[in-house]
Every structure is written in C-alpha cells, then in structure tokens.
Amino acid sequence: AGRGGAAARRPDPAPASAPVVTDPRVAGKAFVDFQNDVTAADVRLAAREGYTSPEHMKRYTTQGMATDQGKTSNGPALGVLTDARGLRPGDLAAPTFRPPFTPVAFGAIAGRSVGWHAVPSRRTPFDEFHRADGAVFVRSGGWLRPLYYPRPGETLGQASLREARYVRSQVGVFDVSTLGKVDVSGPDAASFLERLYVNRIETLPVGRSRYGIMLRDDGIVMDDGTVTRLAEDRFYVTTTSAKAHDVVRMMERLTEVDWPDLRVAVTELTEARAALALTGPKARAVLARLVGDAADVSNDALPFMAVRDVTLGGLPLRILRVSFTGELGYELHVDSQHAPELWQRLIAAGEPVGLRRFGLEALELLRIEKGFLTGAEINGQTTLADLAHERFAKREGAYVGKPMSLRQGMADPDRPRLVGLVSEDGAPLISGAHLVEGGMYRPNEPTQGHVTSSGTSPVTGLPIALGLLARARERTGGTIFATDPLRGSHIKVRVVDPCMYDPKGERVRG
C-alpha cells in the first residue's frame, strides 16, 4: 500500500517476446538490463539527450554490452525507447551484437584436436599437379605448399637434401605463387616506392628489378622482396608469402591516409597471378626450350635482375631473372587461369634437360646456405644492422621508419647480428637453440644470441645454421656453443659469414 493513498496497480503481464517496463507508476527502479544495471529511466534519459537510435542508446547506457549481448535486455530496452519516441512496436531494430550470441562450448574454442579445418588454407593454381607428383604438403603463410616429394622409404631430411643437391648441380622447379604480388602504378608511383623502401627505387631503370627492404614505423624490418619497373609509371612488387597482406594494407594506408597527395594506385595481384621458380645451372637451357624464338634469354639479353614480358603462342608470360637459391634462376609469372598451361609447357620443355620438382624444405636448405632471409630472421624484432643489411639504406631522402632506425640503440654493437654457424663435430643444429660461451651447459648462463634457422648444407653435408649473435664481427672465425637444455643438445659451432655459398654471387650472374 502507498502512503496516504491507494496502492499503485501494476500493469498486466506482457507477452514474453515484448515485456513492458515503461509504466511510470511502477514503484522503484525498473531494470531492463540486469547484467549492466541499466534501467528504463536510463533509456528514457538517452532519448531525451538525443541518443534516439538503438545503436546510440546502447553506447550511452551500455545496455546489451554484457556477456549475453542483449539477448535478455534488447526486448525491454527497445520497448522503452519505442514508447519514449512515440513509435509503434516493431519500428526499431535491435542493435548489433557480437558473437557468441548463442552459447558456444569451451571445447569448441579451446579444443586440442582442431586439425586442418581450424584455419582456412589457400591452394595455389598448381596444387593438382603437386598432388599428382606425390608431394607432401605443409601449411605455410596461410597456404598449402609442397614440402617435399619423397621417394619410397625416404624421410623428410633425406628427400629435401636430395632435392637441394639436385638444384645445386642440375635444375629444379618450385611453386612461388604464394609470394605477395602488387601492381603499383600512377604518375607518383616511383616517389611512393622511394618513400616506402629503404633503398633507391626512383633510379631503377625500366625493365630491371631490385631487391627492396621496408621498415615499420618503429624502425624494425617489416619485409623484403623485389621491385620491378615495367614502365616509368608502373611497378610490379613482390613480397614474402607471410607478409603479403600486411604489406598491401600498409601501402593502402599510406596512399589513403598518410600521403593522399600522391597520384598512385595499389592493386593486389597475389591470387590473380601464379608463378614458378626455375633454378639451377641448367635453368637457362630449360627456359630457352620453353620460349623458343619468342625471346632471347642469353646472359647478355636477359642479365641478372632483368625482366621480360613475352607471349608464347597466346600465353602471356613475365620472366624475372631473380633467385632465392643462390643459383642461376628465373621466376615465371602468368595470370592464374594460365597456370595449367604454363606448368605443362615447362615440364615438357624441361624433361629432356632433367627438370625436377623440389619442395619448401629443400628451398630452406638452399637459402640458409646462401644466407638469404625469411620470417625466421625478419621476426619483428630485428633492424637493418641486426640483419647485416644496413648497406642497402639510402643516406639521403626519407623513408618509412628512418627516424626511429637512426636511434643510437638500433646500432648498438652488442645487439645480436646475423651470422652463419657450422657444426664442428657434425651434430645437427636446432633452431631456437641459445648461443653461449661455456664449453658445457651451465644453468642460467647468459645467452649471446640464438639459432634462427638450421639444416644440412647441400654442398658440404655439414649441419649449418643462421643465427643472431652479439658482438658478431669480433666473434666471426671463432667458436661458440649452441645449447638447447630442453632437448639435451650442446654443440660447438664455428661462427662464419652468413653467406656460406658463392659469396661473390658468380653463379646467379652466370
């Protein structure tokens, strides 16, 4: 009963689908959201303050922002807001909710046996040919890629070493369709790339390629790849497979937000273009058989880091003379719909010369021996100096990350720097092992760096690795120990130059 008068009559129960809590005669607070303690009065205040949209009301009151995302409160809250605005029931739609709107079992989120269906995998346009050739696949950078092509009874180590040795002595083909590919065009395309990469791009002649490195805003190396100039106002850029998305998003942000005055267009072509790497001492012989009279592929006509666009009986083909193996090499780029035709033509041209397929693991052995970088070294923590690549940075002119890269700490000689490592006793090296000075493992011994990538040299057969080592210059030529107490490994290694094969680059230029 009310004080000095008749008791206030509560309203009749409303249907469960649209509960009514708007009657001002209800004594006390009328809650519409029990999780965030939002009342009917709060919703009416939001309407009076001008937050009349359900989305704005939600942000003003926090209604529907709790764990149920409005499942229990949207109906009452919309009823109050509808009444406050003088609308009819059903005129307002519920605000956006975030998943899980319907409860999800923890096992579905954190289960261990997620398998290949947990993350979507992209397949290259040559996928069916790899499967037909018996490839074993691995997920890398979001793609399914051929890891190796085993013979009966071969292990991964045996097959990949055989493939790598064959590339060093003969010729092999590898699917590089996963590389990021970007068309950069417009009157200011050269200026745009000059600001983006640490090295000179504006001086790049038409018909030539150049190795390029880009930094993040904080001066840390973000990615590397090639920049090819197709015309004065058009470039064809390739990135690493894992960083393709990040690089494209960075380019788009720079053109739209940071440098909107530049007249340049960025178009991603990663999945629109397929590519094969043809590499090895006999690569030119295979390429000559492939193109026939359509192009001169001699060393004089197509030198190292040159590019040619040719047409082979209606098949448009872009040939880049680049190499990630340390051998004579070419990348063959076509539109993805022409990938089957390119594969069939290349295999037919290469079989008389002995062309064989090789996988990602063999490529890893070849690039470690040559000292080339991947995400294991460009790991989000390394600078140009850490990677022994400071020589590529231009001294004049601005580029992304330059101010931060010039900080004193970025060139500290005690920062770990890229080195090559060779096992002294033939014991295999383990990626992730710490580099220490002690001749035997001692707990809590200060680490001097770590092994980033490891494998077996296709040339010498010795275990080799790349690593980041403090005071690398003074330690080159000496020995240190690679220790991994979790796996019981403590190995004496010799510190050498990162490029352990053909340091003068004579084979790629031959």
pLDDT at 110 over 80: no
Q: If you average pLDDT over every residue of the chain, what do you get? A: 91
In a domain, 201, yes or no: yes
CATH number for 351: 3.30.1360.120
On whether both 490 and 343 belong to a single domain, the answer is: no
CATH number for 71: 1.10.10
In a domain, 469, yes or no: yes
CATH number for 238: 3.30.70.1400
On whether both 277 and 173 belong to a single domain, the answer is: yes
Q: Would you state the structure tokens that stand for residue 446, as one six-digit string?
A: 């200060």
Rounded to whole angstroms, the Cα distance separating 136 from 157 reads 13
CA 404 to chain centre: 23
- Among 56, 73, 103, the domain-final residue is 103
In a domain, 192, yes or no: yes
pLDDT at 396 over 70: yes
pLDDT at 138 over 90: yes
DSSP class of 306: B
In sequence order, the β-bridge partners of residue 419 are 467
Q: Would you state the structure tokens that stand for residue 101, as one six-digit string?
A: 């709107």
- The pLDDT assigned to 247 comes to 97
Q: Would you state the structure tokens that stand for residue 107, as one six-digit string?
A: 């096992």
Cis before 100 (ω within 30): yes
On whether both 228 and 286 belong to a single domain, the answer is: no
**Which domain, by its residues, includes 218?**
180-268
Q: Which of 347, 7, 397, 335 is nearest to 183 (CA)?
A: 335
Express each pLDDT in 65-81 by its tens digit.
988 888 889 999 999 99
- Among 268, 291, 316, the domain-final residue is 268
Q: Which of 11-25, 83-97, 265-279, 435-449 has the highest mean pLDDT?
A: 265-279
pLDDT at 137 over 60: yes
- The pLDDT assigned to 12 comes to 53
pLDDT at 408 over 70: yes
- The pLDDT assigned to 202 comes to 96
On whether both 214 and 161 belong to a single domain, the answer is: no
In a domain, 406, yes or no: no
pLDDT at 105 over 80: no
pLDDT at 395 over 80: yes
- Among 225, 252, 268, the domain-final residue is 268
- The pLDDT assigned to 112 comes to 62
pLDDT at 26 over 70: no
- The pLDDT assigned to 411 comes to 79
On whether both 278 and 362 belong to a single domain, the answer is: yes
Rounded to whole angstroms, the Cα distance separating 25 from 11 reads 9
CATH number for 433: 2.40.30.110
On whether both 201 and 314 belong to a single domain, the answer is: no
Express each pLDDT in 298-320 by its tens digit.
999 999 999 999 999 999 999 99
- The pLDDT assigned to 103 comes to 72
Average pLDDT over residues 349-355: 97
In a domain, 109, yes or no: no
On whether both 28 and 95 belong to a single domain, the answer is: yes
On whether both 245 and 195 belong to a single domain, the answer is: yes
- The pLDDT assigned to 3 comes to 45
- The pLDDT assigned to 61 comes to 95
pLDDT at 293 over 50: yes
- The pLDDT assigned to 210 comes to 97
pLDDT at 267 over 90: yes
In a domain, 505, yes or no: no
pLDDT at 441 over 80: no
Choice between 107 and 368, residue whose per-residue pLDDT is larger: 368
The confidence band for 390, taking pLDDT boundaries of 50, 70 and 90, is very high
How many domains does the structure of the chain reveal? 4
CA 205 to each of CA 210, 488, 508, 510: distance values in angstroms, whole numbers, following the listed order? 10, 53, 20, 21
On whether both 160 and 277 belong to a single domain, the answer is: yes
pLDDT at 13 over 80: no
On whether both 287 and 142 belong to a single domain, the answer is: yes
If DSSP states are collapsed to H, E and C, what string results for 378-442?
CCCCCCCCCCCCHHHCCCCCCCCCHHHHCCHHHHCCCCCEEEEEEECCCCCCCCCCEEECCCCCC
The confidence band for 440, taking pLDDT boundaries of 50, 70 and 90, is low
Rounded to whole angstroms, the Cα distance separating 331 from 370 reads 18
In a domain, 408, yes or no: no
pLDDT at 347 over 50: yes
First to last CA, the chain: 102
- Residues 359, 176: contact at Cβ < 8 Å? no
Give the rounded percent of residues in the chain with a pLDDT score beyond 70.
91
The confidence band for 15, taking pLDDT boundaries of 50, 70 and 90, is very low
On whether both 193 and 305 belong to a single domain, the answer is: no
Express each pLDDT in 462-473 by its tens digit.
999 999 999 999
Say if pTM beats, i.e. exceeds, 0.85: no
In a domain, 337, yes or no: yes
On whether both 153 and 300 belong to a single domain, the answer is: yes
